[in-house]
Amino acid sequence: MAIATEVKPADYRTDIHPDWCPGCGDFGILNAIRQALAELNIQPHDVLTVSGIGCSGKTPHYIKSYGLHTLHGRSLPVATGAKLANGELTVLAMGGDGDGYGIGAGHFVNAGRRNLDMTYIVFNNGVYGLTKGQSSPTLRRGDKTKSMKEPSIQDNINPIAIAIAAGYTFVARGYAMDVKSMKDILIRAIQHRGTAIIDVLQPCPVYNDLQTAEFYAGRDLATAIPRVYKLEEEGFDPRVHDPEDGDEIIAKKVAATARSFEWGDRIPIGLFYQVDLPTLGDGFAAYRPDAPTTAMHKQAHPGQDVTRVLGRFR
Ligand code: SF4
């Protein structure tokens, strides 16, 4: 039996050098993930990271754990299957805003209503960075980044409001350039029992010259006060205290949704909404009380010795 040792962020480093552009917010998210997993003392072999396509899709390559770099918009269904097969894994699905809110929009909505115990991290920079900066679903109407010929004529979606409506039981927003608060919210998301989503404001200095680190820091404002502020520092209460109380759930969803539309001189980050509700795993256990609860690979499968097959990959 493996002896658990104290995990350090460096234990989650791989030999692969991240090839993101200098100043990219992805570095902050990567550091926050490594720090959060280490602080929770989760062993790397107990973690699975799953990504879609885009700059953020490379993240599993840089985290020393099990990892899957999947197809565009498909990190959530793959993560769902993996978590159902092995409920003992800490599963982190991740991808960009184009990947998750555009191509993978159907999976984004339906993962919320299932409430499987996993975490979804969205690197939200308003553009498709890997393919030269086309506008993504979160870029606002009238915005024209330096990679666009004309301003966007489409409205943006509000991922926080959609996540709350879809049924996510932990809905938060992070900021990639504030690694400590990003790490703290990630720890809470991983500890949450149910599907957690963190929409992360992530500057892309190469293609998005509007929502930059300077913009979030409020450098263009007469007051020079940072736009990004923490909900918890203003006494905002995101938690549903009685999950049986439908009125409280509606009131908390309404308050969180109203806050999610705040965008201008002030932009809230932190936890918008949290409720403890039965997970998809609980549903399966009730439906099939005789089903084994251990991970699939630990169950006995008479006549299905896969040793020879696995031996080919050694
Ligand atoms: Fe980061 Fe943008 Fe470069 Fe992609 S293109 S690595 S999002 S700075």
3-state secondary structure of 13: strand
User: 1 CA distance to ligand 1 centroid (A)?
Assistant: 42
Q: Residue 16 has which token pair?
A: 């692969």
285 pLDDT above the threshold of 80: yes
Q: Is the pLDDT of residue 259 over 80?
A: yes
User: Can you name the residues that pair with 105 across neighbouring β-strands?
Assistant: none
Is 11's pLDDT higher than 90? yes
Q: Give per-residue pLDDT as tens, 132-168.
A: 999 999 999 999 999 899 999 999 999 999 999 999 9
For the CA atoms of 240, 243, 249, 251, the dihedral, rounded to the nearest 10 degrees, stands at -50
Which whole number is the average pLDDT over 119-136?
95
DSSP string, 233-284: GGT---B-S-TT-HHHHHHHHHHHHHHHT--SS-EEEEEEEE-----HHHHH
Instruction: Please report the DSSP string for 68-102 in residue order.
Output: EE--TT-HHHHHHHHHHH-TTSEEEEEEEHIIIII
Task: Name residues contacting ligand 1 (CB within 6 A).
Answer: 20-21, 24, 26, 55, 125, 129-130, 204-207
Asked whether residue 1 carries a pLDDT value surpassing 70, the answer given is: no
Find out whether 162 and 108 touch, Cβ atoms under 8 Å. yes
Q: What is the mean pLDDT of residues 7-24?
A: 96
Pocket test of ligand 1: the residue of 204, 209, 210, 212 to mutate, having most ligand atoms within 8 Å of its CB, is: 204
Phi, psi of 151 (to 5 degrees): -65, 155
User: What's the whole-number mean pLDDT along residues 261-275?
Assistant: 98
Considering only CA atoms, which of 157, 123, 153, 151 is closest in space to residue 138? 157
Residue 3 has pLDDT above 80, yes or no: no
- Cα angle 64, 34, 216 (rounded to 5 degrees) comes to 135
The pLDDT tens digits for 87-118 are 999 999 999 999 999 999 999 999 999 999 99
| Atom 3 of ligand 1, residue of closest alpha carbon | 21
Atom of ligand 1 nearest to the CA of 133: 5
Give the pLDDT confidence of 19-72 residue by residue, as tens digits: 999 999 999 999 999 999 999 999 999 999 999 999 999 999 999 999 999 999
Count of all residues that appear for the chain in the document? 314
Report yes or no on whether pTM surpasses 0.85.
yes
Pairing of strands 267-274, 170-175: antiparallel
